[in-house]
Structure 1
Amino acid sequence: MPVTELPGDQPPVTEAVTTVRPARRPTPFTALLTRLHFYAGVLVAPFLLVAALTGLAYTITPQLDRALYGDQLTVADVGGQPRPLADQVTAARVAHPDGSIAAVTPGIGERTTEVVFSQPDLGDRQHTVYVDPYTGEVTGQLTTWFGSTPVTTWLDDLHRNLHLGEVGRHYSEIAASWLWVLVLGGLILWWRRRTTSRPTAKHLLVPDLTVREGVRRTRGWHATTGVWLAVGLLFLSATGLTWSRYAGANFGAGLDALRAGTPAISTALDGTPPATGGGEHQHGDTPGGTVDDPGTYDTVLATARGAGLAGPVEISPAAEPGTAWTVTQVDNTWPVAKDRIAVDPAAGTVTARSDFADWPLLAQLSSLGIQAHMGLLFGPVNQILLAALALGLLCVVVWGYRMWWQRRPTRTDHRAPLGTAPTRGGVRGLPWWALLAGVPVTVAVGWALPWFGGTLLAFLVVDVTLGAVARRRRVVPVSPAPAGR
């Protein structure tokens, strides 16, 4: 009889089949962006490292000024009405008889009055005499740069040009020109990596601490910190470029072409210049040659206050005979006060006015951006945010180099001190329409940001050269077959 096998007599044998998903190859765009991010990170990161360190030092300049120059910048006793500006200017002139008065900033509250003198031997620097507005006594004298104290000027030069003059300015422009590229490129790469399997905001903003120590954990800290800092770093890049040497010049030209730059204020007077005869207190000439009468400062200040210019102001004498004086609000803390007027000192009337609210929007944003970049716009909060950005950028750079080291080959037969660059070939894989749109855009950006365009071209030349050398090394010549075979 045939043996019938019941279903329950023997359990069915099943073979586990494990499906191994092949590693997903990056798209040509991702491959190109990865290689660009790698090379820019390796070669430009030193500039960013220096910019972050010097910027971090600059954030504490208000505290340094108070600690080092508190006796000159502030008064010990605030009380009573300030003395006439004529007396304060006279005291400053007696203390410093050389040069010509370029500007006077009347003291308010605990701030001393600043009388700024121009001197040919100081170049772009000025000599500032500080006067107690309540007693008329000189509290000190410093060599300044656009109102900045020596220590602030020193740190500002360190951040802008490393004390190397015009040559040193290239470093900061390279850093600002590439920072936005690195930030945007890093965001795209991290988003593509994380949203493949975990499309949640948490995994974009928080590093995965469950992975073991290694390049994956370092990449998580590097990328998520960059995400948190992205808006601030893009802001620093944009505002830093506005006063760089080449990109800044192009930015200014663009504002002028759009008629969106800071509007000029007319100082022309219809009448003749005031008489400069004897009997007046004459203590030197202004840059334009007009005789400096200390009493005129009180007249001009009273006119400015009557015109609504409250808070700290800067009074600038006429640049040349027959022109008006200017008064500018210099409150750079939010909400800023930056209105300007031109004053006829003889008649005590306002001849022209330029209010900050009437400036073009781009001019307003540019001015506010510069003040925020310098840590002035929001006071101590602004300083703390800038310091956090600088520290965060330092961490991102260090983690980037650490990843490069962690990716190094460690096999006994193939060791290397550093990791290899991502695979090339991304450009060849791009569709024609991407090249058609991308090349003109890249050229235009390179023209607007010359140091970005120049260094990008250098990267491409080096990369193509290294690729050609590598291909030649991989070519093995075929030996001819022996005769008779």
Structure 2
Amino acid sequence: MRNSGYRTLWRWHFYAALFVMPLLIVLAVTGTLYCFKPQIEPLLYPHRLIVAPEARPRIAEERLLRNAAAALPPGATPSSAHVDNDPAHSAEFVFRLPSGDRESVYVNPYSGEILGTLSVEGRFMQVVRMLHRKLLLGKPGELLMELAACWTLVMIGTGVALWWPRRGVRVRMRDLFWPNAAMSGRALWKSVHAVLGIWLAVGALAFIVTGLPWTGSWGKQFKALATSVNLGSPPGAWGGLALHSQAPGADKSAVRAAAGPTTDKADAGEHHAMKMSAHMDSMPGMVMDDMPLSNVPWAVGAVPVPHAPAHGAAEPLPLGRIVAQLREMGLDDGYDIAFPRGSDGVYTVSYFPDDPQNERTLYLDQYTGAVLKDIRYRDYGAVAKAVSYGTSLHMGRYFGLANQIVCTLISLGLAAMAVTGFAMWWQRRPAGALGAPNREQGAPPMRAWKTALVLLAIVFPLMGVTLIAVWLFDRAMFGRRPRRIAERSDGANA
């Protein structure tokens, strides 16, 4: 009885791994590829993304946009532009085609020549990203990947417990942290699996914790909860400040009167905007995550998209004016601009750099260029700040190539865990059977583990449903096996 509970932990570890390991291989491979996106994409599409730097000035953004539009069928509408002032990079504009698909057009910024197009949804790295997030299966795949992440927590916890030296069993310290090459067969696979797992446990846990906030089900609810307690999106992101585009000449006297007096002149504009927000409605169902932008900071993903009644017949500012204004405000390159949606939309700017402290989201009036909102890292709540750092580390962006290498080692190490785990299972499984470890006879209550599973089920309800399903399946299929068969199997497994 001194090892009582070991087989129960092994049984849960087996069930968790049975579900997680195939998906973990997909996550490891796609995550590693996407981590090296900055290096891989120029190799895949050199004639579109790369240009020869020239000494002459770059062509104005409006002309580049016109050239890009002329390269597409009639009815294509511009949705966003990527601003990159690297002299060796082309200009990129994204269009919505009449079919509903999105197409990127690449233009030489010095000559205006069209370099080519790419499907936004079909380009290699976007396919890799969607495989990583949802297996290219839409919402069902997204939920499946979220479940895999949750069950990985069970696999890590039980794996560490199985690795932990048992009472009465003498183990050399070296064998706990380095594979024993003197072993052979399944014993060697087990040694490699255990040692590799303990080295990767912290990294795997970090991957799960930093990836879950971006999931479509739990992550979305977590974001809403963090915002509701002022730990996520900044104050005003959900309606506290005006998000509207108003043509010049509109009557603001009634709004000024309603806003009341302000004592600080510097705060007068914001005070006015906050009062205006009561009369502004956001576009129904549209949030920042729905915008045609390649990347949006997590803290602002649920911010409603601006929408307000238009006034007058003023002409929107050209893209070049907006880019020049942003340059004066400290944004030089590496950001995306979503074009206004109709006469009452705004220019939406998303800056998602490697260092999360420099993240920035802006809304600019399309007629006057007035800054309606400028959301920065310092405006985030505590949870959003932590998630921003976790995201940068998770994607291998925060400390450059070294970060990419660390992420790669963890990812490929997890894939190796799947291989070694499969090898161990294959060598011990009975012919024609699943080979799950037999239920322990006279197992202890293990209240701490059961409490941990209950807490996981509460925090991750979707996982809780599958937890109950696995337990019911286990009871139905293996709950009434004769004791003598279990004992004979135990002997064979040993």
**TM-score computed with the length of structure 1 as normaliser:** 0.75
Cα contact 1:101–1:115 (8 A) shared by 2: yes
**1:76-95 per-position Cα deviation (integer Å, ceiling 9, x unaligned):** 22433322212222222222
- 1:95 corresponding residue in structure 2: 71
Matched, 1:115 2:90: no
Deviation at 1:473, TM superposition (A): 8.5
Aligned to 1:153: 126
Partner of 2:44: 68
Preserved CA contact (<8 Å) 1:406 1:418: no
Q: Per the alignment, in what secondary structure is the counterpart of residue 340 of structure 2?
A: coil
Match of 1:312 in 2: 334
Does structure 1 residue 126 correspond to structure 2 residue 126? no
Q: 1:460 aligns with which of 461, 465, 471?
A: 471
Q: 1:230 aligns with which of 201, 204, 215?
A: 201
Per-residue displacement from partner, 1:90-114 (whole Å, max 9, x unpaired)? 2222223433222222231122222
Q: Which amino acid aligns with 2:216?
A: R
Report if aligned partners of 1:117, 1:126 keep a CA contact under 8 Å in 2: yes
Change (3 A) 1:43 1:352: closer
Structure 1: runs of 5+ lacking an equivalent? 1-23, 276-286, 410-414, 476-485
Evaluate the alpha carbon distance shift between residue 328 and residue 139 of structure 1 in structure 2; reply closer, same or farther with a 3 A threshold. same
Once the two structures are TM-superposed, the CA of residue 224 in structure 1 deviates from its matched residue by: 0.9
- Cα root mean square deviation, aligned: 3.5
Amino acid at match of 2:212: L
- 1:457 to partner: Cα distance: 1.4
Given candidates 110, 114, 118, the residue that maps to 1:138 is: 114
1:313-462 → structure 2 map (5 Å cutoff): 313-331=335-353, 333-334=354-355, 337-407=358-428, 421-425=437-441, 429-430=444-445, 434=447, 438-439=450-451, 442-462=453-473
1:320 Cα deviation from its structure 2 partner: 4.5
Q: 2:247 aligns with which of 272, 275, 278?
A: 272
Aligned pairs for 1:154-233 (under 5 A) are 154-193=127-166, 197-198=170-171, 200=173, 202-210=174-182, 212-233=183-204
Q: Deviations over 1:142-194 (max 9, x none)?
A: 2214xxx7111222223333333333334322321111221122112212349
Q: Is the partner of 1:421 in helix, strand or coil?
A: coil
CA contact under 8 A between 2:83 and 2:335: conserved in structure 1?
yes
Kept in 2: contact 1:37–1:186 (CA 8 A): yes
Are the counterparts in 1 of residues 2 and 168 from structure 2 also a CA contact under 8 Å? no
The 1-side partners of 2:314 and 2:215 are apart by 36
5 Å matches for 1:242-257?
A: 242-257=213-228
| Residues 39/344 of structure 1: CA separation in 2 closer, same or farther (3 Å cut) | closer
Kept in 2, the 8 Å contact 1:47–1:175? The answer is yes
Q: Which amino acid aligns with 1:115?
A: F
| 1:104 paired to 2:77 | no
Q: Name the CA shift for 1:341/1:175 in 2 (closer, same or farther; >3 Å).
A: same
The CA deviation at 1:59 is 4.2
- Shift of residue 115 of structure 1? 1.5
Kept after mapping to 2: 8 A contact 1:90/1:294: no
**1:340/1:33 CA distance change after superposition, 3 Å:** same
Sort the Cα spacing of 1:43 and 1:114 in 2 relative to 1 into closer, same or farther, 3 A. closer
Contact 2:77 2:97 in 1 (8 A): yes
TM-aligned CA distance change 1:315 to 1:138, over 3 Å: same
The amino acid that maps onto 1:429 is P
- Aligned equivalents of 2:227 and 2:156: distance in 1? 29
Decide whether the 8 Å contact of 1:130 with 1:138 is kept in 2. yes
Percent identity between matched residues is: 31
List runs of 5+ in structure 2 lacking aligned partners: 251-305, 487-494
- Please show how residues 41-60 of structure 1 align to structure 2 within 5 Å: 41-60=17-36
Q: Is residue 364–residue 372 contact of structure 2 (8 Å, CA) maintained in 1?
A: yes
CA distance 1:273–1:72, change in 2 (3 Å): farther
Counterpart Cα distance in 1 of 2:58 and 2:358: 22
Partner SS for 2:45: helix
SS in 2 for 1:442: helix
| CA distance in structure 2 between the partners assigned to 1:118 and 1:141 by the alignment | 13
* Post-superposition offset of 1:310: 3.1
- Native 8 Å contact 2:245 2:346 kept in 1: no
- Structure 1 residues 347 and 247: alpha-carbon distance in aligned structure 2, compared to 1, 3 A threshold: closer
Q: Is the 8 A contact 2:356 2:377 kept in 1?
A: no
Query: C-alpha displacement at 1:270, in angstroms?
Result: 8.0
Give the letter for the 1:215 counterpart.
R
Give the counterpart letter for 1:403 in structure 2: M
Q: Distance in 2 between matches of 1:230 and 1:203?
A: 17
Q: Tell me, yes or no, if the aligned pair for 1:105 and 1:113 is still in contact at 8 Å.
A: yes
Q: Distance in 1 between matches of 2:172 and 2:221?
A: 40
TM-score (norm 2): 0.74
Residues 1:115 and 1:54: Cα distance change in structure 2 (over 3 Å): closer
CA contact (8 A) 1:32 1:425 kept: no
| Counterparts in 2 of 1:190 and 1:336: CA distance versus 1, 3 Å | same
- Aligned partner letter, 2:227: D
Compared CA separation, residues 379 and 120, structure 1 to 2 (3 A): farther
1:163 aligned counterpart, secondary structure: coil
Tell me how far apart the structure 2 counterparts of residues 37 and 139 of structure 1 sit (CA, whole Å).
Answer: 52
Aligned residues of 1:303 and 1:343 also touching (Cα < 8 A): no
Paired residue secondary structure (2:106):
strand
What is the SS of the residue equivalent to 1:343? strand
Greater shift, 157-166 or 53-62, is seen at 53-62
Q: Secondary structure at the match of 1:92?
A: helix
- What is aligned with 1:5? none
Q: For the residues of structure 1 that align with 2:76 and 2:171, how far apart are their CA atoms?
A: 68
Equivalent-residue separation in structure 2 for 1:335 and 1:164 (angstroms): 30
C-alpha change, 1:270 and 1:400, in structure 2 (3 Å) is closer
Q: Which residue of 2 aligns with 1:16?
A: none
* Residue 33 of structure 1: how far off its partner (Å): 2.1
The structure whose Rg is larger is: 1
